[in-house]
Structure 1
Amino acid sequence: MRLALQYVLSVLFIIQMYVMMAVIALAFFPWALFSRRGAMMACHAYCGWVRFSARWMVGLRSEIRGTPPEGPVLIASKHQSFLDIILLFSALPHPRFVMKRELLFTPILGQYAMRIGCIPVNRGKGMSALREMLKAAKTGPHANGQLIIFAQGTRVAPGAKAPYKIGVGALYQALKRDCVPAAVNVGLFWPRRGLLRKPGTAVLEFLPVIPPGLKVEPFMQVLEEVVEARSDALMAEALADKA
């Protein structure tokens, strides 16, 4: 009975989440059309609403740990579900994402993504896509914000393994900026697929900076070690709390 109720609440939460996406997008549209700041404010408002409504509708709290960076940095994050996008955006003042090109054609999401300076990548173009990504990251009009890339290139379920993509190493080497790793446990509560949203505390944690200057291979090794170890620890902590 309790599980059935949680499913019902989860479905209602998902429905209102997309309704509110449209409402907030339309409310901010005149400002966002002419101002990147307006688009940023709309996205921050929406992320705040999702976190608030998840807490009171399905019992899913969210927590940001560590120190969110404010300057121009590269953020290399674990990616388990849509919720880590929400938490990253809500924690940062000027975020933008490296994202797959197909998302440009998603109503509302695609339009706002371009307004805030996200970098679309056509993953089917191989090295050509990598060169275009690097050029956009270094010379785009929003190059001084926090550039977020998901190190494994896609959502990875808790406990599953997937290689870290070379794109994050190429960005680190090209930008010559601090890299802030980020660990998550959000997939335990908000899965990459399915309707059920589980109660608990979803955590995004910013980890100690990896300074510029490493070669790509040792950088990738350090990044994977710290992100995977801390994500595993966050998941173990969450499972212990539920026991």
Structure 2
Amino acid sequence: MQTLRSFVHIVQMYVAMLVIGVVLFPWALFSPRGAHFACHTYCRWVFWTLSWMVGLKIEVRGTPPTDEVMVAAKHQSFLDVMAIYHAVPRGKFIMKRELMYAPIIGQYGLRIGCVPVNRGKRGAAIKKMLEDVRSGRQQGGQLIIYPQGTRIAPGVSAPYKAGTGALYGQMDQACVPVATNIGVFWPKKGITRKPGVAVVEFLPRIEPGMAPKPFLARLEHEIETASDALLDEIGFVRHAP
């Protein structure tokens, strides 16, 4: 029964993406504010339907940033993308250039300020983004990145990429780490969503000025320690590798 409920939720979630995306696109086309409103509206719809259709609720802990910062987050599923984005006022992402051409997602990504990059050319894209911010062509906001580069299942170890440290140095902004246990409830694979309370936790910010390697080591320690604590809180059992 839980699998069936999860499947129905997934289907209506993508139908809602199409409906909300099309209805609000005229506003989004002419205003980044409209694009953010549409994306936040969609997130609220997903969370609401998830709570009564699947029995899964989202809890946000800590203080989400409202100023211009880099948000470095643990990434376990699509749900943590929405939870973190919805918690901040003007979130944006670094996205693969191919996603620019995806229906709904691509156009809204561009309208909220996401940075499309070609594989291997992230540095050039970030440099241009910073120049646009300084010149006023692009709104500031919270740049959300995933230091491990991809979704990682709960309890699985994966390295933090050196590019995150380089990005921290280039942006010269504070970094807000984010921990989560969402992958336990919304797994990387499969369609079954588990009932419960999934948490994203905004941790104390790391101010600018650190060298890349010490910064990356500190970031990894803080995110992994907090994420492990969230797993322990719900009684998650780690399996031996």
The answer to whether the 8 A contact 1:28-1:38 is kept is yes
Count of paired positions: 233
Aligned partner of 2:239 in structure 1 is none
Deviates more, 1:168-177 or 1:69-78: 168-177
Change (3 A) 1:134 1:192: farther
Q: How far apart in 2 are the matches of 1:137 and 1:87?
A: 25
Deviation at 1:107, TM superposition (A): 1.3
Q: 1:102 aligns with which of 94, 98, 101?
A: 98
Deviation at 1:135, TM superposition (A): 2.6
Per the normalisation by structure 2, the TM-score is 0.93
Aligned partner of 1:16 in structure 2 is 12
- % identical equivalent positions: 53
SS in 1 for 2:33: helix
Q: How far apart in 2 are the matches of 1:143 and 1:166?
A: 27
Aligned partner of 1:132 in structure 2 is 125
What does residue range 42-191 of structure 1 map to in structure 2 within 5 Å? 42-123=38-119, 126=120, 128-140=121-133, 141-191=137-187
Deviates more, 1:95-104 or 1:206-215: 95-104
Q: How far apart in 1 are the matches of 2:139 and 2:38?
A: 20
Residues 1:232 and 2:228 aligned together: yes
Deviation at 1:143, TM superposition (A): 4.9
Runs of 4+ in 1 over 6 A off after TM superposition: none
Q: How far apart in 2 are the matches of 1:174 and 1:143?
A: 18
Q: How far apart in 2 are the matches of 1:218 and 1:238?
A: 31
Q: 2:31 aligns with which of 5, 29, 35?
A: 35
Change (3 A) 1:217 1:146: same
Q: How far apart in 2 are the matches of 1:138 and 1:168?
A: 19
Deviation at 1:193, TM superposition (A): 1.9
Q: Which has the higher helix share?
A: 1
SS in 1 for 2:106: helix
Deviation at 1:160, TM superposition (A): 1.3
SS in 2 for 1:239: coil
The answer to whether the 8 A contact 1:77-1:181 is kept is yes
The answer to whether the 8 A contact 1:74-1:178 is kept is yes
The answer to whether the 8 A contact 1:92-1:146 is kept is yes
Q: Over aligned residues, Cα RMSD in angstroms?
A: 1.3
Deviation at 1:182, TM superposition (A): 0.4
Per the normalisation by structure 1, the TM-score is 0.92
Deviation at 1:27, TM superposition (A): 1.3
Deviations 1:71-128 (A, max 9, x none): 00111001000001110111011110112223223211111001101012222xx2x3
Change (3 A) 1:224 1:31: same
Q: How far apart in 2 are the matches of 1:143 and 1:224?
A: 29
Deviation at 1:205, TM superposition (A): 0.4
The answer to whether the 8 A contact 2:56-2:195 is kept is yes
Deviation at 1:161, TM superposition (A): 1.5
